[in-house]
Structure 1
């Protein structure tokens, strides 16, 4: 059979990470080595929305990979205001200027460290950043138990997306009096003896991930993921997992890895259904193809460290045998073949 010159994708979706908007002047990262463009991140989000709304094939949904507003909003009592500002941009995307009057695509929000700098876990569960429920209150898909923010959804037959909660085990978003907080503290203290736990351990290598701005996945969440993937294996579905924190050491700087990345990788490797893992957090971005499993690990470059005259977003077209990422600005074009 001859190849059609222009295949139509089964569906497309948009991806963007680390917007970190705040209505403040430009600043620098924690180690003061990288410029951060807090105000203009909103315009870069607007650029992404305009591109998605004007594309011939409208995205079925948007993946927002976490850190939607910056932690600086908290001390300025501007968390709610900043979040409303950014969510308004997400809501004004598709249909505007297209003449179709269609509603904007659904946004699936991942939670990162900056979400927890601004809000408690219970506040996030009751907010518009909880995309495990539709605006009408109905569930988006099967979700993990308790207050774990992890759920699955299927935008198209044969394809499943799983949103993970990378701060389920963390010092962030947990009450200091809680058992979860003391368990996380015991874990981080095995590796990090600094007074300021946002400073990585002195050692080189993978142990640098044990900082306060990272977290991990509880056994309950890992068991839930295992069951979701077992079901997907049986149905021969293709699964894309998304998380704020990367889980493959070759897809990111070690300082950005999830605490128990190795346990999550072991689960992925024990299933045949996973085709891609997408994350944010590392503002430089990264990519690694795990040839043992055929899984593509994409870490998306962050909007917050993207200059105002550049861009950082992508559109993914999904076909039977591959996904094609069309990047903009700092995001490179890539093809992810399915194993």
Structure 2
């Protein structure tokens, strides 16, 4: 018979996290600087293994956060984008937990926003709407940001954000957001190739085409959701593809307007964690407002025989990450309000 102490050890719920799978039916390659090996086919095996482990856990994860870049951009050149995506989706469907998908730069190397909205990577239907929080709900408005929120357990909320809302990727050339994003890049990056940070120093290295940012529209929406969560005394975890704290990643991997979204987050008491991918080396920082910025290591640069995923166990006072392979175990304690 379970005692009170036993019950206290049980989490309220758990969820899985995986980032940067970047599958392609291609031979192993390297990153742009040829410093890191990329295992395109093996990434599918690691995803399959992760799904099997999540399915076998004693407590079934309430959901899985897939932090973006499920297939690699090279699929576009190989004319295999749709086939590669279907292969990955077939593995996801074997998971007994629902999948929340985030869009990264590699999604936009393969598809435009209209196609993504119609694809299995649109998990917005898993979001729940509260009458007190007005959110963008028109799926046919492809200029609108991709974002939603949901509450898997009382007093806990998760917000899916779009760190390519401002971007030159996936946007029609005629759109205002593409124009504004191009102007921002031109202001800071004088290279012919906007994916190059040559000549840029410090945090200016973030102004490259494979990064993006958050529009004012999205920041206003996020502010409204967080105000609701503050008033409801919820604990909020925010997920995105691109990191927003310079100390949680390298200087080239930060969102363009990281300072603006940090200002929004720091104005609210409810935020406890920010979960991105994008930086395959991972990273971690606890900021001075008590928010955990935990960047997940990428599957694509994980060698055969290792792993790169985790399960987060959520308690009233902390989250405990059970990592596999390159993902280390962590205890993320909530700030005291």
Normalising to structure 2: TM-score of the pair?
Answer: 0.93
The residue that corresponds to 2:306 in the other structure is 310
The residue that corresponds to 1:15 in the other structure is 17
Gaps of 5+ in 2: none
Matched, 1:219 2:216: yes
Kindly indicate whether the alpha-carbon contact (under 8 Å) linking 1:132 and 1:141 is maintained by their aligned counterparts in 2. no
SS at match of 2:172: coil
1:58-93 per-position Cα deviation (integer Å, ceiling 9, x unaligned): 101000000000011111111111111001111113
Kindly indicate whether the alpha-carbon contact (under 8 Å) linking 1:237 and 1:273 is maintained by their aligned counterparts in 2. yes
Partners of 1:3 and 1:270 in 2: how far apart?
36
Matched, 1:152 2:149: yes
The residue that corresponds to 1:278 in the other structure is 275
Residue in structure 2 matching 1:116, options 108, 113, 127? 108
How many angstroms does 1:161 deviate by? 0.2
Kindly indicate whether the alpha-carbon contact (under 8 Å) linking 1:13 and 1:316 is maintained by their aligned counterparts in 2. yes
The residue that corresponds to 1:105 in the other structure is 97
The residue that corresponds to 2:53 in the other structure is 51
Matched, 1:179 2:176: yes
Kindly indicate whether the alpha-carbon contact (under 8 Å) linking 1:17 and 1:280 is maintained by their aligned counterparts in 2. yes
How many angstroms does 1:32 deviate by? 1.3
1:251-309 per-position Cα deviation (integer Å, ceiling 9, x unaligned): 0001110000000000010000000000000000000011x211100000000000011
Kindly indicate whether the alpha-carbon contact (under 8 Å) linking 1:144 and 1:221 is maintained by their aligned counterparts in 2. no
RMSD of aligned Cα (Å): 1.5
Gaps of 5+ in 1: 94-103
Partners of 1:20 and 1:154 in 2: how far apart?
28
Partners of 2:62 and 2:314 in 1: how far apart?
11
Partners of 1:217 and 1:309 in 2: how far apart?
37
Kindly indicate whether the alpha-carbon contact (under 8 Å) linking 1:28 and 1:36 is maintained by their aligned counterparts in 2. yes
The alpha-carbon distance between structure 1 residues 157 and 320, as it changes in their structure 2 partners (threshold 3 A), is same
Kindly indicate whether the alpha-carbon contact (under 8 Å) linking 2:189 and 2:200 is maintained by their aligned counterparts in 1. no
How many angstroms does 1:22 deviate by? 0.2
1:169-216 per-position Cα deviation (integer Å, ceiling 9, x unaligned): 000001112221111011111110000000014122100000000000
SS at match of 2:22: coil
Aligned length: 324
Kindly indicate whether the alpha-carbon contact (under 8 Å) linking 1:71 and 1:114 is maintained by their aligned counterparts in 2. yes
The residue that corresponds to 1:170 in the other structure is 167
The residue that corresponds to 1:200 in the other structure is 197
Kindly indicate whether the alpha-carbon contact (under 8 Å) linking 1:15 and 1:62 is maintained by their aligned counterparts in 2. yes
The alpha-carbon distance between structure 1 residues 10 and 2, as it changes in their structure 2 partners (threshold 3 A), is closer
Kindly indicate whether the alpha-carbon contact (under 8 Å) linking 1:201 and 1:207 is maintained by their aligned counterparts in 2. no
Normalising to structure 1: TM-score of the pair?
Answer: 0.93
How many angstroms does 1:167 deviate by? 0.4
The residue that corresponds to 1:210 in the other structure is 207
SS at match of 2:236: strand
The alpha-carbon distance between structure 1 residues 36 and 182, as it changes in their structure 2 partners (threshold 3 A), is same
Kindly indicate whether the alpha-carbon contact (under 8 Å) linking 1:131 and 1:140 is maintained by their aligned counterparts in 2. no
